[in-house]
Structure 1
Amino acid sequence: MIRETYEKIVRQEDIRKNLIQLRQELKVEGVAPLLYYLGGNYQLLSSLLEHEDAKVRKNVALIMGELRSPELREYLWKAYQKEEKLFVKADYLSALSGFNYSSLVGNLKERLTFLTENKWEEASLKHINEEKRALTKMILDLEQPDKHTFTGNEILSDLLLLTNRDHREITLEQIKKGQAKVFNAGVVVRTKDLNEIFEIRTYSDLLFRLKEVAKVDDDPALAAQALIKGGLVAFLKERHKEPAPFYFRLELKTQRSLDKKSIFAKKMAEELERLSNRELINSTSNYEIEIRLIESKDEDWNVLLKLYTLIDERFSYRKEAIAASIQPVHAALITRLAKPYLKEKATVLDPFCGVGTMLIERQKLVEAENMYGIDSFGEAILKAAQNSALAGCNIHFINKNFFDFTHKYLVDEIFTNMPTVTGRKTEEEIKGLYKSFFSKALEFLKQEAIIVLYTRNKEFVEEEVMKRKAYSIREMYPISKKENAYLYILQVHKDL
């Protein structure tokens, strides 16, 4: 098919239509058949870059970009410089982006400056903006922008801390400075001490609010105007050491279709760039600022800012993980909920330790004397040892099946994330594992010892506890009803 279509182009038969057809065929069959057929002769393709029909020039440029033959780059670059139709310019750049264009970066910057500093008629703006986006992406792909340093730890800031919805008060009670209150998804904070916030381990995300702009209109131009008038650029400058520009992306939380989201985001990003004189530059790959718009029931948008210039080091020890690993923020929440039952200088055992997250978070909150992590998966044990070393925790990890494990003395506490149904374990196998666990655990636990148990199978826990007088439930907390995840605090009564 590719050869037949190309031969029609050679014969000058409906060139535009057949170029479009050829592009579709290249997507399906790949470029190898056409490259083989051309045999290094690109004379016809290069001549079509001078065709009177701008759409012929556009399509042949995109085909040349797909072929990626180095000698085609110069043809494309010369054609781009000569092109007078604005709607074709961005397509030349799209084609050129697949080549080594590093020697052209100075020229690309000059063109971007020219487009940015000049005023354009309204009718031309769409195509000018497309070309500017293409130029910006090409330049950023070669030259990473300088990173900004966040310096706003002591500046009065309005924050949203996203937390587990069932346990917002756990985060709230850790905030001693500034003002704070719960809201539906977490905690609202006004504070001058971000260092205190950075020490809290039970929120999943930290977002900033612009004091003057809580919501924006459902019109991309008006929304952009509100953010600029509301001091977005000043907000960023005040909190960073290095000057503008700031590279951003828009994230829309909405039920609208992808097409509608894309159109809104595109128009708003263009307006933000224009109104800020490109002190804000849109980039979907090299950004440090995320402007998050959340659609409300009133068909306007709540505005939040995610600053990636803030380095979250709370869980920096977790360099290694496996598929079943618990999220550190969940482990931190579990530890906080269990804190009234945790003893200092205790001996703690995790029979299904994975990469060690549960034990590490337990140690960071209440220091134990001895900690033992057991897992039958050798790779997990190796990763656990690396994570605990980075966390500065002295934990003994043992590559062994818990049900084959023995220990010389009893422990004060079992602290664990129970296995759940996976590709390797069925529900029946997990049920059997719970039965074996509650029998085996008694071999290791002191009288009145505690089990802190995170589970996605609460019915198995309650069934086993009801069967055995040696266990009682002290507390039960829902962690995620969607995932059927619960935390149990159990106590051991061996003399019953």
Structure 2
Amino acid sequence: MIKEEWQQIKENQDVRQNLSRLRQEIKDKDLRRRFSELIRGEEFLLTELLRSEDAKTRKNAALLMGDLGRQEFMAPVFESYRKEEQRFVRSSYLTAMGNFDYEEYVQDLKECLEELQKTEVTAENQKHLAEEMRELSSLIVRAEGIQTHRFTGWNESFDIILLTNRNLAEYTQKELISLEPGAKTKLFGAGVRARVTNLKWVDTIRTYHELLFVIKGMENSPMDALQMAEKIVKSDLLCWLEKIHAGEAPYFFRVEMKSKKPLDEKSAFVKKLSARIERLSQRRLTNNTANYELELRVIQNKEGGCNLLVKLFTLKDDRFSYRKEVIPTSIRPVNAALTAALAAEYMKENAQVLDPFCGVGTMLIERYKAVKASSTYGVDIQEDAIVKARINTRAAGQIIHYINRDFFRFEHAYLFDEVITDMPFQIGRITEEDVEEIYERFFHSISDYLNPDALMILYSHNKELVERFAPRSRFYIYKSFEISKKEGTYVLLLRRRG
């Protein structure tokens, strides 16, 4: 087909449509190579289409040349971009240029971007103006790279929000107060809000999901992209970023929106907001969704407006960096850490610890970080899980003994002081009936592995099964913590009746 379509283009038949068809066909690498050979010696016919009276023909021709990636098309595409008067076409030239070596044009692109920032924004041009600015910025960043800023604000004061488990935020609050006595804290629906005098504690507290910053002047905003952008740029954000980082602007950001808006409406809002922030900040804040240093978190509130927060990626969260490997049933590390924190006061130091369904080892690793154990064993029927558990444990710098075996065939020379585990739950090929059988067999046999005063710490999706089967083996629940009502998860602490 490519021969016929090229021939029709040469004969000026359905040019725009044939260009579009060719673009689709040469997505195949072999057809792209064949088409490139086909037009050899006739390339001028393609570049002449950049002067077509039809704007969409110019657009498709530029994109087709970009698809081919031949360097000889760079100069005519750039020249056509400079001359193009139709705003909706201009970003397509830039898209095409991304497939060429455009290094010698970077300064020209910067000048184009500076000129573009002086253009008056109207209701008619704002969409295509934003697209063009985004493409220009992307090309410049790709050519020059991003100079990542180094976080230096460890000893600064901050207004922060720690997003935590909604039911158990007070545990994180207590940890924060113990590590940062100068903190002024307050519980709220999603976690802990605080004013802190430093951030030296961030890697020590393991029970929060995210750390977000409240910036003076941008706490909230109406649901309007232009007003929101103006509020963000006029706030203390840029001064704040400069104060806590080594290096100068630009700072690269993305926008993350939490809203009930349909996906297409959210996407349009975020694009409009991002472009406006770039423009108002004179690109001291530069949007880059691939390589970003901060996230502007836009959260729709009950009143219909938005709360505005900042997440910093220059402030590395290395709390769970040991977890190199996972499987589909792996517990989230923050939930494993929360489990260990909830049970810590009941754990015995230098205990003999067993995880009969250890997965990739997260629960045992977090247990040791909470209270040191003497010897620790993990058992799992999945060989892949055991291999991954060993990788994670080495990365954590711990020693845990892993055994690839069905727990119900596991044998050991001495008894354990403690069991801590994420109990199996219904997922994939594991049915509700399978889970019930596992619980029944577990409680029937677990006593054979435990000392009389042993502690069991179970992270469970099936509290009702624990309540049904535990008493049969003389175990009872003496502490129960709801982790998620939606997921039906609990941390259950069990002892054996005397």
Q: Is the 8 A contact 2:161 2:194 kept in 1?
A: yes
State the partner residue of 1:492: 496
State the partner residue of 1:483: 487
> Residues of 2 paired with 1:365 and 1:33: CA distance?
59
State the partner residue of 1:306: 311
State the partner residue of 2:386: 381
> Residues of 2 paired with 1:9 and 1:428: CA distance?
65
Letter paired with 1:155 = E
> Residues of 2 paired with 1:388 and 1:355: CA distance?
9
State the partner residue of 2:321: 316
Q: Does 1:472 align with 2:483?
A: no
After superposition, give the CA deviation of every residue in 1:225-260 in whole Å (9 maximum; x if it has no partner).
Answer: 112222111121111111111111111111112332
Please list, as runs of the form range in 1=range in 2, the aligned pairs for 1:74-85 lying within 5 A after superposition: 74-85=75-86
> Residues of 2 paired with 1:131 and 1:26: CA distance?
21
SS in 1 for 2:200: helix
SS in 2 for 1:393: coil
Q: Which range moved further: 410-419 or 141-150?
A: 141-150
Please list, as runs of the form range in 1=range in 2, the aligned pairs for 1:404-483 lying within 5 A after superposition: 404-468=409-473, 470-483=474-487
> Residues of 2 paired with 1:78 and 1:103: CA distance?
14
> Residues of 1 paired with 2:103 and 2:409: CA distance?
61
State the partner residue of 2:9: 9
Please list, as runs of the form range in 1=range in 2, the aligned pairs for 1:281-360 lying within 5 A after superposition: 281-360=286-365
Q: Does 1:258 align with 2:257?
A: no
> Residues of 2 paired with 1:55 and 1:386: CA distance?
54
Q: Does 1:218 align with 2:220?
A: no
Q: Does 1:23 align with 2:20?
A: yes
Q: Is the 8 A contact 1:292 1:306 kept in 2?
A: yes
By how many angstroms is 1:74 displaced? 4.1
Q: Is the 8 A contact 1:2 1:34 kept in 2?
A: no
Q: Is the 8 A contact 2:454 2:495 kept in 1?
A: yes
> Residues of 2 paired with 1:55 and 1:396: CA distance?
65
**CA distance change for structure 1 residues 299 and 423 in 2, over 3 Å: closer, same or farther?**
closer
After superposition, give the CA deviation of every residue in 1:350-395 in whole Å (9 maximum; x if it has no partner).
Answer: 1111111111111111111111111222232222222222223222
Q: Which range moved further: 100-109 or 354-363?
A: 100-109
Q: Which range moved further: 24-33 or 82-91?
A: 24-33
Q: Is the 8 A contact 1:140 1:286 kept in 2?
A: no
By how many angstroms is 1:47 displaced? 1.6
After superposition, give the CA deviation of every residue in 1:381-413 in whole Å (9 maximum; x if it has no partner).
Answer: 222222222223222222222222211111100
Q: Is the 8 A contact 1:3 1:34 kept in 2?
A: no
Q: Which range moved further: 106-115 or 90-99?
A: 106-115
Aligned with residue 372 of structure 2, among 357, 364, 367: 367
SS in 1 for 2:459: strand
> Residues of 2 paired with 1:72 and 1:423: CA distance?
52
Q: Which range moved further: 32-41 or 258-267?
A: 32-41
Letter paired with 1:159 = I
By how many angstroms is 1:67 displaced? 3.6
Please list, as runs of the form range in 1=range in 2, the aligned pairs for 1:37-52 lying within 5 A after superposition: 39-41=38-40, 42-52=43-53
> Residues of 1 paired with 2:119 and 2:32: CA distance?
42
> Residues of 2 paired with 1:28 and 1:7: CA distance?
15
> Residues of 1 paired with 2:280 and 2:80: CA distance?
32
**CA distance change for structure 1 residues 422 and 5 in 2, over 3 Å: closer, same or farther?**
same
Q: Is the 8 A contact 2:133 2:275 kept in 1?
A: no
Q: Is the 8 A contact 1:175 1:197 kept in 2?
A: no
**CA distance change for structure 1 residues 428 and 28 in 2, over 3 Å: closer, same or farther?**
farther
SS in 2 for 1:486: strand
Please list, as runs of the form range in 1=range in 2, the aligned pairs for 1:183-202 lying within 5 A after superposition: 183-202=188-207
**CA distance change for structure 1 residues 29 and 146 in 2, over 3 Å: closer, same or farther?**
closer
> Residues of 1 paired with 2:367 and 2:431: CA distance?
29
Letter paired with 1:425 = I
SS in 2 for 1:175: helix
SS in 2 for 1:194: coil
State the partner residue of 2:242: 237
Q: Does 1:167 align with 2:168?
A: yes
Please list, as runs of the form range in 1=range in 2, the aligned pairs for 1:92-111 lying within 5 A after superposition: 92-111=93-112
State the partner residue of 2:88: 87
State the partner residue of 1:151: 152
Letter paired with 2:162 = L
Letter paired with 2:347 = L
Structure 1 runs not aligned, ≥5 long: none
> Residues of 2 paired with 1:321 and 1:241: CA distance?
35
Counting aligned pairs with the same residue, the percent is 42
SS in 1 for 2:275: helix
After superposition, give the CA deviation of every residue in 1:26-54 in whole Å (9 maximum; x if it has no partner).
Answer: 44784565764671343432221122333
Q: Is the 8 A contact 1:144 1:286 kept in 2?
A: no
Q: Is the 8 A contact 2:226 2:273 kept in 1?
A: yes
SS in 1 for 2:430: coil
> Residues of 2 paired with 1:24 and 1:235: CA distance?
51
> Residues of 2 paired with 1:254 and 1:304: CA distance?
14
By how many angstroms is 1:86 displaced? 3.9
By how many angstroms is 1:80 displaced? 2.6
Letter paired with 1:288 = E
Q: Which range moved further: 318-327 or 64-73?
A: 64-73
Q: Is the 8 A contact 1:289 1:307 kept in 2?
A: yes
Q: Is the 8 A contact 2:127 2:272 kept in 1?
A: no
Letter paired with 1:170 = Y
Letter paired with 1:472 = Y
State the partner residue of 1:64: 65
> Residues of 1 paired with 2:106 and 2:405: CA distance?
57
SS in 2 for 1:422: coil
> Residues of 2 paired with 1:347 and 1:36: CA distance?
68
Letter paired with 1:465 = A
Aligned with residue 270 of structure 1, among 266, 271, 275: 275
> Residues of 1 paired with 2:26 and 2:72: CA distance?
23
Q: Is the 8 A contact 1:251 1:291 kept in 2?
A: yes
By how many angstroms is 1:438 displaced? 1.4
SS in 2 for 1:213: coil
**CA distance change for structure 1 residues 429 and 262 in 2, over 3 Å: closer, same or farther?**
closer
SS in 1 for 2:331: coil
Q: Which range moved further: 23-32 or 471-480?
A: 23-32
> Residues of 2 paired with 1:37 and 1:212: CA distance?
56
After superposition, give the CA deviation of every residue in 1:172-206 in whole Å (9 maximum; x if it has no partner).
Answer: 11122211111111111111121124321100001
By how many angstroms is 1:148 displaced? 1.0
**CA distance change for structure 1 residues 308 and 83 in 2, over 3 Å: closer, same or farther?**
same
SS in 1 for 2:151: coil
By how many angstroms is 1:475 displaced? 1.5
SS in 1 for 2:344: helix
Query: Number of aligned pairs?
Result: 489
> Residues of 1 paired with 2:25 and 2:15: CA distance?
20
By how many angstroms is 1:3 displaced? 5.8
**CA distance change for structure 1 residues 24 and 185 in 2, over 3 Å: closer, same or farther?**
farther
